[in-house]
Amino acid sequence: MPAQPNKNIALKSFVKQVPWLHQSLRFFYWQGRSLRDRFLGTTAQERYWRNRHRHKNDDWNDTSRFWHNRDWAKSYWSSISHPHRQFLLKHINRLAPFNNLLEIGANCGPNLYILAKKFPQSAFRGIDINPAAVEFGQKHFEKLGIHNVNLEVGRADQLDKFSDKSFDIIITDAVLIYIAPDKIKRVIQDMIRVSRKALVFLEQHQEFLRKDNRGLGAYQFGLWQRNYRRLLGQFLPQEKIKLTKLPPKLWPDKNWSQAGYVIKAFL
Ligand SMILES: C[S@@+](CC[C@H](N)C(=O)[O-])C[C@H]1O[C@@H](n2cnc3c(N)ncnc32)[C@H](O)[C@@H]1O
């Protein structure tokens, strides 16, 4: 472990022992982040995720871990057995058979690994904004001899390279929470254009959110929650939109246990 993170852990632990200082720093940290994310929109998160492998863990609540370079992508590979992935898979299973599937924000491909093993006859493609995650995933798929997964660097709002109806299914898992109101409509419209059968998202939905104009999103501590019925309803009839709440114990994180949903749109 490099020396700098250890020093930071010690500093954070010290700050936590002084409640007023901890509370004040937390307050200013979130005020600053909220201002940045509202002002810059999706650009702020894009910059953050593009360089995520270079950052130390910057969560004031978490003094336990510091990512370092490739360890960050490795942590996603190690999360292949996280229960939320099986829940997502269950919903994708119901759409089988399918020829191909695109995951947006796939990181190094933990979901695509599970899917490729389950559906060896189908083709899987993943795009992610972070080049280190893509490189890590490509190497692993190669090493494991899995040839039906293709990962590449790409942004959620740059789907122009995909022709109309070129994928049966498009999925996202914890990615649209980082797309701000400035870009979400374009991203959804493009996914509808590129997909033939269905969109399947595992994201954060809230039925009644203040300031969630037309389902574009309301900012909640570093991420965007929204009413997906309202958002998707601008493009599709309501009967084509199905939402299933994640069982609260599946993902004990506060946001995911309260607002985690599988959102399906049938095209
Ligand atoms: C919380 S992680 C989830 C990763 C993966 N979907 C999974 O289930 O393990 C969010 C991912 O979205 C990617 N991402 C964030 N914003 C993106 C954007 N605008 N376009 C493409 N990928 C993005 C990040 O690089 C990161 O890999």
Write the pLDDT tens digit of every residue in 86-125.
Answer: 999 999 999 999 999 999 999 999 999 999 999 999 999 9
Omega before residue 97 within 30° of 0, cis: yes
pLDDT at 68: 54
Distance 24 CA to ligand 1 centre (A): 30
> Quick one: how far is CA 88 from the chain centroid?
13
List Cα–Cα distances, 107 to 10, 59, 136, 193, 222, in angstroms: 30, 20, 9, 23, 19
For the ranges 56-70, 142-156, 180-194, the lowest mean pLDDT is seen at: 56-70
State yes or no: pLDDT of 5 exceeds 70: no
- CATH of range 78-266; options 3.10.580.10, 3.90.1200.10, 3.40.50.150, 3.30.460.10: 3.40.50.150
Distance 158 CA to ligand 1 centre (A): 14
Question: Could you tell me where in the chain the CATH 3.40.50.150 domains are found?
Answer: 78-266
Q: Give the mean model confidence (pLDDT) for residues 194-208.
A: 97
List Cα–Cα distances, 89 to 58, 107, 201, 202, 210, in angstroms: 31, 17, 11, 10, 32
Q: Give the mean model confidence (pLDDT) for residues 214-235.
A: 94
Question: Which residues lie across from 101 on neighbouring strands?
Answer: 124, 169
Distance 155 CA to ligand 1 centre (A): 9
Q: Whose CA is nearest to atom 11 of ligand 1?
A: 105
pLDDT at 174: 98
Using alpha carbons, select from 228, 205, 189, 219 the residue that is nearest to residue 45. 219
Distance 110 CA to ligand 1 centre (A): 12
Ligand 1 atom nearest 79 alpha carbon: 9
Q: pTM of the entire structure?
A: 0.89
Ligand 1 mutation pick, 75, 76, 107, 172, max ligand atoms within 8 A of CB? 107
Ligand 1 mutation pick, 85, 87, 128, max ligand atoms within 8 A of CB? 128
Q: What is the DSSP string of 14-31?
A: HHHTSHHHHHHHHHHHHH
Distance 109 CA to ligand 1 centre (A): 10
Distance 174 CA to ligand 1 centre (A): 7
